[in-house]
Amino acid sequence: MSPETDPALLEELEVDLFVEVLHRRYGYDFRDYGRASLTRRIRNLVSQQGEQSIADLAARVLHQPERIGDVIAGLSVPVSEFFRDPSVFLALREVVLPALSTYSQITIWQAGCARGEEVYSLAILLTEAGLYDRTHIFATDISDAALASAKEGIYPSEDLRDAARRYLAGGGTHTLSDYYHARYDRAKMDQRLISRVTFANHNLVTDEVFCEAHLILCRNVLIYFTDVLQDRVLGKFATSLVRGGFLCVGTRENLQFSPAAQKFHAIDIKAQLYRLQGKR
């Protein structure tokens, strides 16, 4: 079969071209992202941008740098929710925060923060544990649009009402409505929850580590990477964590089959919570 007679092969070549444009022209490296998921997102982007084909989109992006922000926003997966997987937040509350309380200053890296729901959830957790005022959270994402939304902290009121149950299941000690102001169909999070947060654009694929963290959360990001890229990113996390630091990944993710797994030991498999072995 050749590209002239096989549409699937032609599309594969167009995806390769598009990915190469992003890498060589702008430094965004999607070469080791899961191909099936990436191809679906590129197809959606073609439709959103009003192009006829992936090749047309690649040509536009190559010659029109002003479009790169919209492209990266379209390729990223800024999907999250407040207190997603309550058992994870309960494990953080009961296992991790007591350990972090022994430090005079705490650094947390929230990698792939999307539109900020998990950042605010984490800040609430730290506030209720009495640790927020001595914590610095670095919330990073590849999408400037997602970061702007996270800073703004405005969400559909329905999202917060739905999250109230998860908050309580995660060990919440107040009511979730204490942390936001609702009006009509929108709710704005209390901005004190991000007073100790630095939002920054960071590419897990190409950028280096930038802090020494006591806890790293990177949930439901690794599932979009190939095994090789997952291992590379996990290596970065191991480098960034302090001795005995904690790593929490998504409940659909798993370190067990990665070469980097030997650097961690499991604290709670259900919550996908790990602790770094001794290093250096």
Q: Residue 4: its pLDDT value, please?
A: 60
Burial letters 23-61, b for 16+ CB under 10 A, else e = eeeeebbbbbbbeeebbebbeebbeeeebeebbebbeeb
pLDDT in the model for residue 72: 81
| E strands in the chain | 106-111, 135-141, 154-156, 180-183, 186-189, 197-201, 213-218, 241-249, 264-268, 273-276
Strand pairing class (213-218; 186-189): unpaired
**Residue 78 confidence (pLDDT):** 60
Q: What is the pLDDT of residue 280?
A: 42
Where do the structural domains in the chain lie, given as residue ranges? 7-75, 86-276
User: Cβ distance 93 to 170 under 8 Å?
Assistant: yes
How far apart CA 75 and CA 233 sit, in angstroms, is 19
Residue 254, both tokens: 């798993």
Query: How far apart, in Å, are the Cα atoms of 134 and each of 75, 248, 264?
Result: 35, 21, 26
| Residue-level pLDDT at 31 | 82
Q: Which pLDDT does position 255 carry in this prediction?
A: 81
Provide the residue-wise pLDDT of the chain in tens; the chain has 280 residues: 555 667 888 888 998 998 898 888 888 888 888 888 889 889 988 888 888 899 999 998 899 988 888 888 788 766 689 999 999 999 999 999 999 999 999 999 999 999 999 999 999 999 999 999 999 999 999 889 899 999 999 999 999 999 999 999 999 999 999 999 999 899 999 999 999 999 999 999 889 999 999 999 999 888 888 888 888 899 999 999 999 999 999 988 878 777 877 899 999 999 999 999 865 4
Closest CA to 18 of 63, 48, 57, 74: 57
> Could you identify the residue written with the tokens 């602790």?
275
What is the architecture, at CATH level 2, of domain 86-276? 3-Layer(aba) Sandwich (3.40)
Provide the pLDDT for residue 41.
86
